[in-house]
């Protein structure tokens, strides 16, 4: 079982999330009543839908993680799953995302051009993730 499959199964068991196809047409999604929260694109790459406020609040912590990729002006973060700790990070961030979406102000409700919250939907095809072993090499 891949790390993404393990994370999907654990998150799918949460009562606030239900499964379906990702609106970006690649992979599976888990959504809350209000929004798509997580897109599973591959065996290792997952996009997580945070609110603008949540990304601002945790920006320095997110940017310091080798598992996280941020795209400017996107409300999605990409999580690259290389180990069990990355799965635990994804689960923690999903909890933050659920809480942020449940309590977000009305100004954050505006949908982008794709119909999703955020300027361009998830980060699929907007992020290139290198394996950690190659990321430190020049």
Q: What is the pLDDT of residues 77-105, one digit of tens each?
A: 999 999 999 999 999 999 999 999 888 66
For residue 46, how many other CB atoms are within 10 A of its CB? Answer: 31
- pLDDT at residue 43 in the model: 93
Mean pLDDT of 5-31: 95
Q: Is the pLDDT of residue 50 over 60?
A: yes
Q: Do the Cβ atoms of 86 and 50 come closer than 8 Å?
A: no
Q: How many whole angstroms from its chain centre is CA 100? A: 13
Identify the residue with better confidence: 81 or 107.
Answer: 81
pTM above 0.75, yes or no: yes
- pLDDT at residue 103 in the model: 80
Burial class (CB in 10 A: 0-12, 13-18, 19+), 61: exposed
């Amino acid at each position: 079982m891949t790390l993404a499959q393990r994370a999907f199964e654990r998150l799918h068991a949460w009562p606030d999330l239900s499964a379906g196809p990702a609106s970006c047409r690649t992979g599976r999604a888990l959504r809350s009543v209000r929004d798509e929260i997580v897109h599973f694109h591959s065996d290792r790459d997952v996009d997580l839908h945070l609110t603008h406020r949540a990304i601002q609040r945790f920006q320095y912590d997110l940017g310091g993680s080798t598992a996280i990729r941020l795209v400017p002006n996107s409300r999605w973060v990409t999580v690259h799953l290389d180990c069990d700790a990355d799965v635990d990070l994804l689960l923690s961030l999903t909890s933050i995302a659920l809480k942020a979406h449940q309590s977000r102000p009305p100004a954050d409700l505006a949908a982008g051009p794709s119909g999703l919250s955020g300027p361009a939907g998830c980060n699929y095809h907007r992020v290139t993730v290198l394996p950690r072993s190659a990321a430190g090499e020049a």
